[in-house]
Amino acid sequence: MVEVRNLRKRYGKLEAVRGVSFEIPERTIFGLLGPNGAGKTSTIEMIEGLRVPDAGEVLICGLRPIEDAMRVRQLLGAQLQSTSLPDKIKVREVFDAFASFYTSHAKVDELLDWVGLTHKSGTFFQYLSGGEKQRVALGLALVGNPKILFLDEPTTGLDAKIRRELHELILRIRDQGKSILISTHYIEEAERLCDLVAIMNQGQIHAIGHPQQLIRDLGEGDRLEVRLRDPMDTAVLAALPGVDNVHHADGLYVLRGRSGGKMLASVAVHADHQGNELEEARIAHTSLEDVYLSMTGHRLGTD
């Protein structure tokens, strides 16, 4: 559905996207993860045809987004991080307006029902909750019957219950045969939704694969997160029994090894010998967050 080949984009001296390549198959949710400034937005905008690449090629169902712009726009739907609409426009009115932009649009009544907004069709936009506004944005992205959907941080700022509801809706969209490119700052969202994940940093793709495969590639084991009263050299922590590697950010030390209990014991004993003490500790199994941390040096959402 989407083919990206050696995509590059430069802003003055900054090369924001440096030879990015990937494919999005049919009926696939493709997650693009990376810290701020990784080049995600520039990559997405070049795929959508909103920004001209300096080099490389993008194909959307075999069409080029810049040269075949009008045809490509009939194939794409996009939900941005925030949706700005007039306060006094009703939900049904905005769906009717957007439907008029497409040669083959969805039936508005069916779409309103599908995204759970039938009961709000006569409500002014200003009176909708945050979750309902996100449903409006998702519905508007679907109104043109797109084959490919772009979702930019679709659940940011929503509570856990509403996020889960939107997750179910996104999975249903995929199961109807659409391909989805999603960027997110929630690691559990990527693990739950994505068939493929690309981890991007400093303008390049560092890994692509199914979340569970990326986790297996990193290696089995545990993650230990600790906060110490006094700072400690990461090289010292990495040399402790049972510890394979250590990352440190914002006062939190993240250690990886085969046994979380063994690592915790090693850290606690060493800290005690140094007159230091543990303030916080948490053990978890290796996750996609560990893959992300190992490749970017950041925890997702903290950069």
Average pLDDT over all residues of the chain: 90
Of the pLDDT bands very low, low, confident and very high (cuts 50, 70, 90), residue 300 is low
pLDDT digits (tens, 9 = 90+) for 170-199: 999 999 899 999 988 788 889 899 999 999
Convert 224-239 to b/e letters by CB count within 10 Å (16 or more is b): bbbebeeebeeeebee
Q: Is 291 domain-assigned?
A: no
Judged by average pLDDT, the poorest of 34-48, 138-152, 199-213, 287-301 is: 287-301
Q: Is residue 235 part of a domain?
A: yes
Q: Are residues 69 and 211 both part of a single domain?
A: yes
**Are 22 and 74 within one domain?**
yes
- Let me know if residue 137 belongs to a domain: yes
Residue 103 lies in a domain: yes
Percent of the chain with pLDDT over 70: 97
Could you tell me the CATH number of the domain that includes residue 59?
A: 3.40.50.300
What average pLDDT does this structure show over 67-88?
A: 88
Establish if 302 belongs to a structural domain: no
Residues contacting 296, CB < 8 A, separation 6+: 34, 35, 38, 199, 201, 206, 303
- My answer on whether 106 and 171 are in the same domain is yes
Is the confidence at residue 301, as pLDDT, over 70?
A: no
Q: Which is more confidently placed, 288 or 54? A: 54
Range of the domain at 248: 221-285
State which of 168, 190, 215 marks the end of a domain.
215
Out of 215, 250, 275, a domain closes at 215
The count of domains in the chain is 2
Average pLDDT over residues 253-264: 91
24 falls within a domain = yes
**Mean pLDDT (whole number) for 80-104:** 90
Say whether both 166 and 41 belong to one domain.
yes
- Predicted confidence at residue 224, as pLDDT, reads 92
Do 193 and 66 share a structural domain? yes
Task: Please state which of the ranges 24-38, 149-163, 201-215, 255-269 shows the lowest mean pLDDT.
Answer: 149-163
**What is the per-residue pLDDT for 210?**
93
Provide, rounded to the nearest whole percent, the portion of the chain with pLDDT above 90: 63
Question: Where does the pLDDT of residue 303 fall: very low under 50, low under 70, confident under 90, or very high at 90 and above?
Answer: very low
- Same domain for 263 and 114? no
**Domain-embedded: residue 290:** no
Specify whether 136 is located in the same domain as 49.
yes
Cα separation values, 117 from 140, 235, 298, Å: 12, 54, 38
197 & 247 share domain: no
**CA nearest neighbour of 8 among 59, 48, 50, 42:** 42
Residue (of 174, 166, 175) closest to 116 by Cα position: 166
Same domain? For 225 and 199 the reply is no
Please tell me whether residues 204 and 237 are part of one structural domain. no
Residues 108 and 201 in one domain: yes
Last residue of a domain, one of 184, 215, 246: 215
Per the CB < 8 A criterion, the answer to whether 23 and 4 are in contact is yes
Strands 55-60 and 29-33: unpaired
What's the per-residue H, E or C state across the chain? CEEEEEEEEEECCEEEEEEEEEEECCCCEEEEECCCCCCHHHHHHHHHCCCCCCEEEEEECCECCCCCHHHHHCCEEEECCCCCCCCCCEHHHHHHHHHCCCCCCCCHHHHHHHCCCHHHCCCEHHHCCHHHHHHHHHHHHHCCCCCEEEEECCCCCCCHHHHHHHHHHHHHHHHCCCEEEEECCCHHHHHHHCCEEEEEECCEEEEEECHHHHHHHHCCCEEEEEEECCCCCHHHHHCCCCCCEEEEECCEEEEEECCHHHHHHHHHHHHHHCCCCEEEEEEEECCHHHHHHHHHCCCCCCC
Please state, in angstroms and rounded to a whole number, the distance separating the CA atoms of residues 235 and 242: 14
Q: What is the pTM of this model?
A: 0.80
Same domain, 104 and 191: yes
Residue 273 has pLDDT above 60, yes or no: yes
Q: Is residue 303 part of a domain?
A: no
CATH code, domain carrying 262:
3.30.70.100
- The average pLDDT across 201-215 equals 91
